[in-house]
C-alpha cells in the first residue's frame, strides 16, 4: 500500500503564498505521475496540477501562471507552490500518486487551504 502525507495547508491572505508538500512511502513500484486535486465546499473535485515521471507538467487554467508543481524523486515528494492566492482558491487540496505498476491511484487525506482577509 502507498501512503501519502500532506503538509503546508493553512490560512493566508489574498495575494499571499503557500507551499504544499506531499511525501509518498510504501509499496511503490514506480511513480508514473503525481499531482494535486482540490475540492471547495459545494463544488466538484477538480484537477489542479500534475507532473509526470518525465517532468512534463499540466495545470488547470484557473491556476496557470500562479501555481508551480515540482518534485524531488529521491524523497518521493511532490510540491505545489501557490502564489498570488485568491479567495476562490480556498479548498481542500488532495495529493495523488499514479503507480506505473497499474496498481491505480493513491490519495492523501487532504489539507485545507483558506484564502481570506
Which residue, chain included where needed, has cell 481570506? 116
Query: In whole angstroms, what is the distance from residue 80 CA to residue 21 CA?
Result: 7
User: Quick check: 93 and 36 in contact, CB under 8 A?
Assistant: yes
- If the chain, 117 residues long, is cut into consecutive pieces of 10 residues, what is the mean pLDDT of each piece? 94 98 90 95 96 95 98 92 98 95 88 97
Look at residue 73 in the predicted model and tell me its pLDDT. 85
Residue with cell 471547495: 40
The C-alpha atoms of residue 7 and residue 46 are separated, in whole angstroms, by 19
Which pLDDT does position 104 carry in this prediction? Answer: 86
Q: For residues 97 and 88, give the distance between their C-alpha atoms in angstroms, rounded to a whole number.
A: 25
Distance in angstroms (rounded) separating the CA atoms of residues 21 and 95: 9
Amino acid at each position: 500500500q502507498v501512503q501519502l502525507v500532506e503538509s503546508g495547508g493553512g490560512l493566508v491572505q489574498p495575494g499571499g503564498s503557500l507551499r504544499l508538500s506531499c511525501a509518498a512511502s510504501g509499496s511503490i513500484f514506480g511513480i508514473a505521475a503525481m499531482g494535486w486535486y482540490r475540492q471547495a465546499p459545494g463544488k466538484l473535485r477538480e484537477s489542479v496540477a500534475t507532473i509526470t515521471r518525465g517532468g512534463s507538467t499540466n495545470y488547470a487554467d484557473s491556476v496557470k501562471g500562479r501555481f508551480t508543481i515540482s518534485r524531488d524523486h529521491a524523497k518521493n515528494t511532490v510540491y505545489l507552490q501557490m502564489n498570488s492566492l485568491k479567495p476562490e482558491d480556498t479548498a481542500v487540496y488532495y495529493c495523488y500518486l499514479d503507480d506505473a505498476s497499474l496498481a491505480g491511484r493513491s490519495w492523501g487525506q487532504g489539507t485545507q487551504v483558506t484564502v481570506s482577509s
